[in-house]
Amino acid sequence: MKKTFIATLLFVIAFNSSAQNKYVDSLKTVLANTAKPFDQFALENKIADYLFITGHGNVDSSLCLEMLKIATQLDNDSLLAIGYNIVGNYFFFYNGDYSKALEYFFKALPFAEKAKDKRRISSVYIDIAQVYLKLSNLDEQIKYLTKASENLPAQSSPMYFYLLVQIQYQLSYHFFLLQKLDSALHYAQALKESNLYLKSPVYECAAYGMMGSIYSKMGDSVFADTYWKRAVLIVDSVDYTYAKFEIKKYYIDFLLHMNRNAEAEKQARQLMELAIKESNFDVQRIASGMLRNVFDLYHKTDSAYYYSRLESAMKDSVFGQSNLNKIQSLAFSEKLRLIDEQEKLAIAEEQRKENIQYALIAFGIVILVILYLLLSRSFITNEKAIEFFGVVALLIVFEFLNLLLHPFLERITNHLPVLMLLTLVCIAALLVPLHHRLENWATKKLVEKNKQIRLASAKKTIEKLEKHNTD
């Protein structure tokens, strides 16, 4: 039964891999025949997203550079956010250069915010959190992960579950490192359920791997072994290097814990070969440490010492003082940018409040003028004046409502200009008939008032004439 299950799973994986590869190949064929830069960028972005989700291939540096080049040429905020994000991902996932990755993520963030693209804002925050997770800075990781959760797009968005599974994976990882295993297991199971919608082999093996690690920590080696076998089976079927890095390093920990040292050595050597091939110093550091542990258990002092020296050298490359200083500098610059943005928002809010006050004052003045024209018993005017002041009052009321409702409209329309425009048109459609009725009422009142003034004036004239004739 077990052999049948494994054979079936391998067939499904192979079938899905073939279908995904054909899809990516078709996108590349269309890309080769596309001349417009914007369309080229869209196709390249679609290729990158599918490779990250399915794991059937890696995003190469030429694709990242081409996307950033097009985004820079078009000077488009949304495209620049994606371009910088993709380049940051390349440094993070394939090179293990965390300072460079963080540099590009922080470059992407303001462009994503200017474009008001919640999908991209959430993605960048997830990636920044991932860097801090790798640096074991769990406080910064959870801070950025919270921001990522707050900026998730609507569930109807096609990328919602892709972002959600990344957040759930990091939350599981976070609580696992804090030894809060119940919480870690909760998010690992939530990750597995969310991936039913995404159907990503990358996050399926991530969920199994997390559950394998958690059950191992809980002391349930049978469950742990079951989940690890599933995770390794899936990750061996994909080409996504980072997924292999993540799964294999924790699987080796599990094998060492179970005293399956020969298997641990084999997996650690495979991990080292892969890390050297990809020039990833951080994974070389991890693989060196694991091989050192294996040879310590074998009591092979020379080999253990060699890998200990290699681990130390790789650690200096990844966590050297210059890299840490650069990361701290980038984080400090980002904090300064946020302070500056908050100050700008505060100034804009204060300006908005002042504009509302000015609009109310102007509206009050216009209403007073109209009332004076309507109620004055000695001042004759014409209908044109009422029409003019009525239009001015309508414009002031519309501007007042726009200023008052703007923050609320931005929230409910998700910053989409088309929806905001439609909402304002609906408000105008309600105001215009109301203005028309008020204008008719005011004109009628004005006509009656003018008649009364003229009648009173005529009576006075008649009285004067009669008095003059009597004299």
List of domains in the chain? 2-281 (1.25.40.10), 347-470 (no CATH)
pTM of this structure: 0.65
Mean pLDDT along residues 263-284: 84
3-state class (DSSP) for residue 193:
helix
Dihedrals phi, psi of 355, to nearest 5 degrees: -60, -40
The full 3-state SS of 114-129, as one line of letters, equals HHCCHHHHHHHHHHHH
If residue 144 lies in a helix (H) or strand (E), which one and from where to where? helix 138-150
Residue pLDDT, tens place only, 299-318? 888 888 888 888 787 776 66
Query: Within 10 Å of residue 381's Cβ, how many Cβ atoms?
Result: 16
C-alpha 144/C-alpha 60 separation (Å) is: 27
User: On the CB side of 250, how many CA atoms lie within 13 Å of its CA?
Assistant: 29
C-alpha 62/C-alpha 57 separation (Å) is: 14
| Residue 199: predicted pLDDT | 92
If residue 295 lies in a helix (H) or strand (E), which one and from where to where? helix 281-297
- Binned at pLDDT 50, 70 and 90, residue 55 comes out as confident
Distant-in-sequence, close-in-space partners of 349: CB < 8 Å, separation ≥ 6? none
- Binned at pLDDT 50, 70 and 90, residue 344 comes out as low
Mean pLDDT along residues 66-86: 91
Top pLDDT among 54 and 364 is at: 54
Query: Quick check: 160 pLDDT over 60?
Result: yes
| CB 165, CB 203: distance < 8 Å | yes
| Residue 8: predicted pLDDT | 38
Mean pLDDT along residues 159-167: 95
- CA-CA distances (angstroms) from residue 242 to 55, 239, 443? 9, 9, 75
Range 55-67 burial, b when 16+ CB lie within 10 A, else e: bbbbbeeebbebb
3-state class (DSSP) for residue 289:
helix
| Residue 54: predicted pLDDT | 84
| Residue 197: predicted pLDDT | 93
| CB 73, CB 37: distance < 8 Å | yes
| Residue 293: predicted pLDDT | 86
Query: Quick check: 2 pLDDT over 50?
Result: no
SS3 content of the chain, % helix, strand, coil (to 5): 85, 0, 15
C-alpha 37/C-alpha 43 separation (Å) is: 10
User: On the CB side of 35, how many CA atoms lie within 13 Å of its CA?
Assistant: 0
Residue pLDDT, tens place only, 17-47? 445 567 778 888 888 888 899 999 999 999 9
| Residue 3: predicted pLDDT | 40
Query: Quick check: 444 pLDDT over 70?
Result: no
Query: Quick check: 99 pLDDT over 90?
Result: no
| Residue 61: predicted pLDDT | 82
3-state class (DSSP) for residue 216:
helix
Top pLDDT among 261 and 428 is at: 261
3-state class (DSSP) for residue 172:
helix
Percent of the chain with pLDDT over 90: 32
Sign of the CA dihedral running 182, 188, 191, 195:
negative
Residue pLDDT, tens place only, 225-266? 999 999 999 988 888 888 888 888 889 889 988 989 899 889
- Binned at pLDDT 50, 70 and 90, residue 375 comes out as low
Supply the mean pLDDT for the chain: 79
At residue 305's C-alpha, the angle toward residues 303 and 308, to 5°, is 110
Query: Within 10 Å of residue 202's Cβ, how many Cβ atoms?
Result: 25
Mean pLDDT along residues 175-188: 96
Torsion region of 34: left, alpha or beta (phi above 0 gives left; psi -120 to 50 gives alpha): beta
| Residue 98: predicted pLDDT | 85
